[in-house]
Structure 1
Amino acid sequence: MAFDSIYKIAGSAMNAQTVRLNTVASNLANTDSAAGSAKDVYQARKPVFAAMYENNQLTRGAGMGGAHVQVMDVVVSGREAKKRYEPDHPLADRTGSVFYPDINEIEEMTDMMSATRSFETGVEVLNRIKSMQQGLLKLGEA
């Protein structure tokens, strides 16, 4: 596998984790976003990743070639809104109910830590490849 393929793979992994971190940040930022109805409530987002093999097929076990990560979509969770009785809230409906997104902060924080570690791993791969290339250049100096 050529160095440029490794750069492409590590870069795609870092890009995918950046998308993942963006969705986590959006979800955490909107945890307490109120809505006047269940249909208007913020829905948590989750990215969908797929392995794209060098032959551009979504198949498993594709030979010696590498596979980069493709962000296929960002989907909404589809969880039901949490209904709270808050009659003094400006967005309360006729019954005094306000709706909030069903976002699990612990899940989101765990997802954030995992995405951060995966991103750091991609950086480490790039640093190792850079070091290997520098070593190859030093061989020519001797």
Structure 2
Amino acid sequence: MSEFSRALSVTASGLKAQASRLRHVSENISNADTPGYRRKTVPFEAVRDLQTDVEHVRTGRVTLDRRDLEEVYDPSHPLADETGHYKSSNVDLMVEIADAREAQRSYEANLKMFEQTRSMSASLMDLLRR
């Protein structure tokens, strides 16, 4: 496997991992007002490909945030108990927006690296054709 192929493989794994992270962040944001919803988090894992001896990144198992759900007082809500409270979600929109921005920037950095590697490979091919 050439160094260009290895670099493209690593950046592609980074792109997939960040895309998965963005998908979970968008799920969290869209369910921020859903009663009982727990925030989803996705860890990254480094995995070595034994055939090519290249280390990739992939997403691990999705976990639910175990923080307590916020109690909201709204006696008119259908899920309210006899005291007028119900459990809302534990999604913090500021955290989700920060995570989305970080994932977006990481995705863009991986994409730039992918484009740079492809450009270098094309330039090398042009030089070899001469």
Same fold (TM over 0.5): yes
Amino acid in structure 1 at the alignment position of 2:67:
R
Q: TM-score, normalised by structure 1?
A: 0.83
Partner of 1:93: 81
Correspondence 1:52 to 2:52: no
Partner of 1:77: 65
Q: State how 1:34-49 maps to structure 2 within 5 Å.
A: 34=35, 41-49=36-44
In structure 2, what is the Cα distance between the partners aligned to 1:79 and 1:29?
Answer: 19
CA deviations on 1:68-104 (whole Å, 9 max, x unpaired) are 1021211011111111110111221222112111222
CA RMSD, Structure 1 to Structure 2 (Å): 1.6
| Equivalences, count | 128
In structure 2, what is the Cα distance between the partners aligned to 1:18 and 1:139?
Answer: 35
Q: Which runs of 4+ in 1 moved over 4 A?
A: none
In structure 1, what is the Cα distance between the partners aligned to 2:15 and 2:65?
Answer: 23
Amino acid in structure 1 at the alignment position of 2:23:
N
Q: 1:104 aligns with which of 61, 86, 92?
A: 92
Amino acid in structure 2 at the alignment position of 1:85:
Y
Question: Tell me, which stretches of 5 or more residues in structure 2 are unaligned?
Answer: none
In structure 2, what is the Cα distance between the partners aligned to 1:67 and 1:47?
Answer: 19
CA deviations on 1:105-133 (whole Å, 9 max, x unpaired) are 11111110000011011111111111111
Partner of 2:3: 2
In structure 2, what is the Cα distance between the partners aligned to 1:140 and 1:93?
Answer: 74
Q: Percent identity?
A: 28
Q: TM-score, normalised by structure 2?
A: 0.90
Q: Compute the displacement of 1:20 (Å).
A: 0.7
Q: State how 1:122-137 maps to structure 2 within 5 Å.
A: 122-137=110-125
In structure 1, what is the Cα distance between the partners aligned to 2:22 and 2:39?
Answer: 13
Question: Tell me, which stretches of 5 or more residues in structure 1 are unaligned?
Answer: 35-40, 57-64
User: Matched residue of 1:73: which SS?
Assistant: coil
